[in-house]
Structure 1
Amino acid sequence: MISDIDYVKVGKPAPNFKATAVYDQEFTEVQLAEYLGKYVILFFYPLDFTFVCPTEIIAFSDEYERFRNINTEILGVSVDSEYSHLAWMQTDRSSGGLGDLKYPLVSDLKKTISSSYNVLSDDGMALRGLFIIDQQGIVQHSLVNNLEFGRSVDETYRTLQAIQYVQSHPDEVCPADWQPGDKTMIPDPIKSKEYFTAI
């Protein structure tokens, strides 16, 4: 269940928010609670019209169908206005713009969303925070990078798959670098030896 608490913590309900976003070249309202029943990749980035940010935003858009195929939606958030988001989308990628995106970009001009997810920097920008929220609105994964380096879409996808696997197989856990089809582990002092003797 999505929460109205004002901070984020893994294993706890994700802080809810309602905000203006840009999607399909139009302004729309996004509310996190409306995504219950789906997984959500919620990621923050510092500012529009910067350098590392478009590489991440475009990469998530290019891989959107892969996420949607496993019941997952993507939301990008920065402290820019919806007008800035729209202008950036209307700028060609060859000129540092975003072009069309397959998911909404949310405006956090008042910085309340970034604050509630503990990613607001001292300079008033959002750090590169990324959160995976499950179908019940519970935060299952949190990652925060500093401003200068981007995140991995492939690792986000792998982590999401691991979350989905253990939620559908509650008697198993996923070891390091687990990929779908790899051997899992039974979290038991005796049964776990089956995994370790096989590696």
Structure 2
Amino acid sequence: SRRRTIQRHQALDYKGKYLVSSSIPFDFTFVCPHEIIAFSDHVEEFRKINCEVVALLDGQSLLPSRLDQHFPEKEGGLGNMNIPLLADKTCKIFRDYGVLKEDEGIPFRGLFIIDDKGRLRQMTINDLPVGRSVDETLRLVQAFQYTDKHGEVCPANWKPGGDTMKPDPKGSKDYFSKH
């Protein structure tokens, strides 16, 4: 039998690491469990590059019923989770990040990349019926880390190992002359 634990998390828990945080809008409608499972299944790829992943739910969520071992993934349950599921009981975080749909008291599908210094580097907000891309999120974290380390910029659709450009007129001309 799996053991579930409830722990208090705070920003300091992620100090010195990148953090991907996604807001989950409902009590697990159709897209929600799929997104959480997708990020959970790929969390080791994020951890290899010093990045943690969390899912942020409102405090009223019916989440415990989806964590029950008798509610398998094939039926919309979550199975074994590899990422923390955090509760924003007062919706303060949702409100602070601008993803709270005030008239309904639920968050949009927000996704936030926070760097190892605690700075917000990327934010996307999807309307409720469309899920987010794990692959694109991983690529963005890798791109931010590359630019931090090398001082160059990553062009559209850049992937690790791809060409980058120096952030000056000559450097960009060199890049564009090759592409």
Partner of 1:21: none
Q: Deviations over 1:58-91 (max 9, x none)?
A: 0000101111111110110111447x32321112
Q: Name structure 1 gaps, 5 residues minimum.
A: 1-23
Q: Give secondary structure in 1 for the equivalent of 2:53.
A: strand
Question: Which one has the bigger helix percentage?
Answer: 2
> Contact 2:59–2:90 (CA<8 Å) still a contact in 1?
no
2-side partners of 1:148 and 1:49: how far apart?
12
Partner of 2:20: 41
Task: Indicate which of 113, 117, 127 corresponds to 2:108.
Answer: 127
Output the TM-score relative to the length of structure 1: 0.84
With 87-96 and 117-126 compared, the bigger mean Cα shift is at 87-96
Partner of 1:13: none
Identity %: 45
Q: Deviations over 1:78-117 (max 9, x none)?
A: 11447x3232111211221111110110111211111111
Q: Does 1:154 align with 2:132?
A: no
Instruction: Output the amino acid matched with 2:67.
Output: M
Aligned residue runs from structure 1 range 6-155, under 5 A:
25-81=4-60, 84-90=62-68, 91-121=71-101, 122-155=103-136
Q: Does 1:164 align with 2:145?
A: yes
Output the TM-score relative to the length of structure 2: 0.93
Q: Give secondary structure in 2 for the equivalent of 1:65.
A: helix
Q: Give secondary structure in 1 for the equivalent of 2:36.
A: helix
1-side partners of 2:27 and 2:67: how far apart?
10
Instruction: Output the amino acid matched with 1:115.
Output: R
* Deviation (angstroms), 1:25: 1.6
When the two structures are aligned, how many residues end up with a matched partner?
174
> Contact 1:44–1:78 (CA<8 Å) still a contact in 2?
yes
Instruction: Output the amino acid matched with 1:46.
Output: P
